[in-house]
Amino acid sequence: MKPEKEIKSDCKAQKIKLRRLVDDILRADEKPTTFDGLATRVAEILRAEDERWKRRTLLEDATFRCPQSDPMLTDDETTLLEEIYWDLFREKIITFSHNDTAYFSIHSEAPKI
């Protein structure tokens, strides 16, 4: 079992990687407009990089949340993505649309990502 300090370090590194990926996604011409759309885009990119995932099934790993036919994030990846989503809101990079936190757009005062 890994020491807690090492686990936190791994988590921080994973969050930095995901944040850079999200920033790249938000710079694209066609941006997702929902959290689920963002999560799907992140999962597609992560899984394209991970050859081992292509051989994995739902039966092998119960930590996946999505149907097997969809790109999947682990519970840990989903938790970090949720943190990033709220960080983006606090940093005025995204704003929520129509009083619904599921839909977002780029904030009018957003700094360059």
Residue range 54-108, pLDDT digits in tens: 555 444 454 544 444 456 888 999 999 999 999 999 999 999 987 777 799 999 9
DSSP collapsed to 3 states, 7-51: HHHHHHHHHHHHHHHHHHHHHCCCCCCEHHHHHHHHHHHHHHHCH
Q: Does the pLDDT of residue 26 top 50, yes or no?
A: yes
Q: What is the pLDDT of residue 1?
A: 61
Determine contact, residues 8/80, Cβ cutoff 8 Å.
Answer: no
Given pLDDT bands bounded at 50, 70 and 90, which one contains residue 49? confident
Cα diameter, the chain: 46
